[in-house]
Amino acid sequence: MIKAIATAKRLDGIGEYYFSKKLREIDELNRQGKNVINLGIGSPDLPPHPDVIRVLQEESAKPNVHAYQSYKGSPVLRKAIAGWYGKWYGVTLDPDTEILPLIGSKEGIMHICMTYLNEGDGALVPNPGYPTYRSAVKLAGAECIDYSLREEGGWLPDFEQLERLVAAGVPVGNCEVEPPGRIKLMWVNYPQMPTGQMPTMELFERLVAFGKKHGILICHDNPYSFILNDSPISLLAVPGAKEVVIELNSLSKSQNMAGWRVGVLSGSKERIDEVLRFKSNMDSGMFLPVQLAAAKALSLGKDWYDSVNATYRERREYVFQLLELLKCEFSKTQVGMFVWAKIPGGYADGYALSDRVLYDAGVFITPGGIFGPAGAGFVRVSLCTPVEKFKESINRIKSAGI
């Protein structure tokens, strides 16, 4: 008998990504003739601007663009990112030293955790929040320390709780860390996913002050700032933020380029150089035509964002109707490409409501519990579906008597 090959201990407690498993189940239902409408995943269904696609086509046809690229990305893309940050966020970045293009910002989350976290270190993770923060922290061997976001608190961090968590440190057992149990970084995400909560400059100022007080790196994930939001802001806009802040951004949502995998990490030269030490061992650069097309996308004006948001705004009205039909409660002031809603009484949690809508009506909505225990009583609906699908979903739910 061949001896079993064990997986690495770092995978202990790391399950397959929820959507990966759920999509297989939906595929099976579709094979059975269910024809499920998927309102769960935030993958933009709209194309990039035609000029962006044109640049990709033209550049890809050139014979000299197919080699390995710089680990720090094309100067053209870095300059475009710097210009974009200056125009829309009022943030000055040095394109040579303070910008690191990424193959999607999701890889940046992993790079950051692997760069800064040791076994037994702690990382503050929002609950509810994007599940990848938790997975990346665990894969790096560190401890996830939840900080709670609550509806009654406007889905904002409770700084008194944060102070208590820092004072308590991390239970590290026999791990040898110096100092023992130190919380080294904090994941922050505003506009917040999944709740759609907008940030304020006051919140950002408090986060920077908190990071400086405790020597904690504040990692801000900022991919939703342009979606249904006329006032995008960056955590790096706070004076002195670069001392303790690094920020991830992405072209996936605002530029409809999710499958192109283009993201960016911005921060001080020291932070960029540190993360590059890890990242340069993980890939060999990004296809140059993609970088040049991304630079074009970042040059688009207000008309582009207005057109994208007009589509999402129309769709959101139908999502409101769908959620009202399900007797859910929600805020109409939230932004981003999802709507977050509290489930009605009669359901144990968001999974129960999600499953009923899936199996009885053939419509998938995301249970809030996948974002952490604080999301158990909620569901999330994506805006990344044509209006006709939302209308059909409403009719199916009505017909199912849910």
Of the listed ranges 61-70, 175-184, 297-306, 382-391, the one predicted with least confidence: 175-184
User: Quick one: pLDDT at residue 118?
Assistant: 93
Residue corresponding to tokens 């640049």:
55
| Per-residue pLDDT reduced to its tens digit, 5-43 | 888 888 777 766 677 777 888 888 888 888 999 999 889
CATH architecture designation of domain 50-298 = 3-Layer(aba) Sandwich (3.40)
Domain 15-44+303-400, CATH homologous superfamily name and number: Aspartate Aminotransferase, domain 1 (3.90.1150.10)
Where are the chain's structural domains?
15-44+303-400, 50-298
Burial of 181: CB neighbours in 10 Å, binned 0-12, 13-18, 19+:
middle
| CB-CB neighbours of 259 under 10 Å | 11
In this prediction, residues 227-234 reach a mean pLDDT of 95
In our burial notation (b when 16+ CB lie closer than 10 A, e otherwise), range 384-400 reads bbeeebbebbbebbeee
In this prediction, residues 91-110 reach a mean pLDDT of 96
User: Quick one: pLDDT at residue 181?
Assistant: 53
User: Quick one: pLDDT at residue 10?
Assistant: 82
Of 303, 302, 319, the C-alpha closest to 386 is 319
Tokens of 28: 């099976």
| Per-residue pLDDT reduced to its tens digit, 55-100 | 999 999 999 999 999 999 999 999 999 999 999 999 999 999 999 9
Residue 180 banded pLDDT, cuts 50, 70, 90: very low
Hey, CA dihedral for 39, 311, 190, 149, is it positive or negative?
negative
d(CA 267, CA 269) in angstroms, rounded, equals 7
Q: Evaluate whether 15-44+303-400 and 50-298 have a shared fold.
A: no
The mean predicted confidence, pLDDT, of the chain is 93
